[in-house]
Chain A
Amino acid sequence: MPDNSALYGIIGAFKSPEELVAATRLAKQEGYCHLDAFTPFPVEELNGILELNDNRVFWLGLTGGFFGAGVALAMQVYVNFDYPLNVGGRAQYAWSAFAVVAFELTVLFAALFPALGMLALNGLPKLYHPVFNAPSFGRASSDRFFLCIGAHDPSFDSAKTAEFMRNLKADAVELVPE
């Protein structure tokens, strides 16, 4: 096995999401498993091929919603318990009146949890990442669709993998230094 220690991987640029999807499928069939794709906009087909399945953001949202509702109701019940105020004999624990603040805090935390959770799960903010070393990677946010085969992949061999990538009709094939 050649020395891959200084390499993060090999990256290939494709002109369209369809070409990227086809290339990713072939790479998967070839036995590569340390694959990542970088695209200017979400390409849903990749999720199936790369076997990406992560619903934690959704569950965080649900948790946040329950948390917000719980906090809001507990807070309103407590302040009315601690400082009871009789306004024309109206209910001290007026659930219908508590509904508005409960709803607002449900929404607030149901939005805050997944937003912060999404960033945390994605490991962002992270200002340095090896893929940025690839000279043409700047186009990943514009009009090129990148497939990266990681150097840690058991089937990785810098010469063979680069050859494989070129055979996929990649627009540019570049080594990504670590």
Chain B
Amino acid sequence: MSFASDAARPVLPPDQDLGDVTDQIARIPLHFPTRSRWLIALCLGFALFTLFLVSATVLFVRGVGVWGLNIPVNWAFAIHNYVWWLGIGHAGTLISALLLLMGRDWRNSLNRFAETMTLFAVVCAGLYPVLHLGRPWFLYWMFPYPSTMGVWPQFRSPLEWDIWAVLTYLTVSVIFWYIGLIPDLGAARDRARKRGWQVFFGVTSLGWRGSAIHWMRWRQCYRLIAALAVPLVVSVHSEVSLLFASSQIPGWHSTIFPPYFVLGAAFSGFAMVAIIAIAIRALFNLQNLVTDDHLDVLGKVLLATGFMTAYGYVFEIFDALYSSNVHDLQTLQDRFSGTYAWSYWGAVFFNFIVLQGLWWRSVRRTPWTFFTIATSVVIGMWLERYMILVTSLYRDFLVSSWGLYTASFWDWATYFGTIGVFLVPFLLIIRVFPVISIFETKEVLHEEHKEGSHAG
């Protein structure tokens, strides 16, 4: 199968007209289908969210000692899950912004919920360093304000860079998401029949009326932010990797880290996009908009980013061997056969062995097989972040400072709780906002109609 034939084949079934698409997507918030399935998911989300609130309360009352972290493993679940969540978020921006700039039309069925996923994944990520502070009420110490103590934050430290990177990323993601949403809120407003929805969409669409000059400025703005978002993703996750790489810990102190982290982030995030795409299309019966072709191309992207991530693994090994540094070699050996070897081989298995199924077209196009592989990747990347943290920290330079780490009950409770922090707002957003970009889908459909009429 060549790429040329891919390009010629329409992404969306062309036998639907523009009005159908508007009605089908705008109907979801206005006449919500599948209420019971959505409610079950929301209840699960709320249960996990409650778990998060309980865990955070326990943490604030009793301190970070309730977690399993210790010296030497003083960065454990908190930073591990921070990196994992942030990485998942990045694919939403990449799929939306990078593919917009490259004119890949298939993105238009996926970008809206991918961006929504980004927002709440970043929120979950951002919570972790705050919880990890131990005294979260002093968070404002991270900001440069004229303090009576006469001190300022240390801008030469990656820990300070972190807060600027994450807050910028969150703000830009919100702007990008909302600017892209405005025209669709207008479409939902015009379809709304009940007073409450009319007011809600009327206000949130800011009075959008689709005037030609508005579209012109809108498009400039949207593409400009997209062009900024791509390097932003790269910078944010590179910065996160510098938290590790700028230290001297063996297994961290390596120049491969920034690209290794960015590609791993894209890999785990594309897997999450696939999971959500498959779930949403089944939940709302959107098979005509998120088609098997979309799954097919997502599968290819996942396979490709998987190999890029695998390159990072290979190069990490090469790096350690080439350096001949005893500590680096020790860490390498600890990863292969140490106490936490299961996390290394688990990451290799879940990330790369299971992934090979995506070579088969039928596997990519069958929702449940693709769903299984994507889930495996999300687990694999979770293990990878664990492996990077724990195998490097538990045995560093001096034998006297070696020690083991086990996650405590509250570690796990907080982690599962953040899944609730992600699910609840995500489910509420897909309840009230158009879950797929209406006008961009119509743009693609119109192009297809035009090409179809020329060909015919």
Docked pose: A128 CA to B219 CA in angstroms:
23
**Interface of chain B residues 421 through 456 with chain A (CB within 8 A):** 439-440, 442-443, 446, 450
Picked from B150, B156, B158, B207, the residue with its CB within 8 Å of the CB of A87 is: B156
> Given A39-B215, A118-B179, A142-B19, are A85 and B154 also a contact pair (CB < 8 Å)?
yes
A101:B224 contact, CB within 8 angstroms:
no
Please report A residues at the B interface, Cβ cutoff 8 Å. 16-18, 36-43, 46-47, 50, 52, 54-58, 61, 75-76, 79-80, 82-83, 85, 87, 90, 94, 97-98, 100-101, 103-105, 107-108, 110-112, 114-115, 117-119, 121-122, 124-129, 131-132, 137-143
* 5 A-B contact pairs sorted by A residue (CB < 8 Å): A41-B439, A47-B212, A61-B228, A127-B203, A141-B208
Contacts of A40 in B (CB 8 A): 18, 22, 183, 187, 210, 439, 442
Contact B213 A122 (CB under 8 A): yes
- Whether B175 and A141, one on each chain, are in contact in the complex, defined by CB atoms closer than 8 angstroms, is no
Interface size of B by CB at 8 A reads 64
Query: Is B151's CB within 8 Å of the partner chain A?
Result: yes
Contacts of B175 in A (CB 8 A): 111-112, 115
Is B155 an interface position by the 8 A CB rule? yes
> Nearest Cβ in chain A — how far from B358, in angstroms?
33
Q: Which 10 A-B pairs have the closest CB atoms?
A: A79-B152, A125-B206, A143-B19, A143-B18, A141-B187, A138-B190, A118-B221, A142-B22, A42-B215, A97-B156
In the complex, chain B residues whose CB is within 8 Å of the CB of A117: 221
- Asked if A41 meets B442 with Cβ closer than 8 Å, knowing A101-B161, A114-B220, the reply is yes
Asked whether B232 lies within 8 Å of A107 as measured between CB atoms, the reply is: yes
Closest B residue to A109 by beta carbon equals B168
Is the C-beta of B202 less than 8 angstroms from some C-beta in chain A? yes
Q: Could you say which residues of chain A place their CB within 8 Å of the CB of B214?
A: 122, 124
Which residues does chain B contribute within 8 Å of A122, judged by CB atoms?
211, 213-214, 217-218
Which B168-188 residues have C-beta < 8 A from chain A? Answer: 168, 171-172, 175-176, 179, 183, 186-187
* Bound: A12/B15 CA distance, A: 26
CA distance A154 to B218 in the complex (A): 30
Say whether B211 contacts A36, CB under 8 Å.
yes
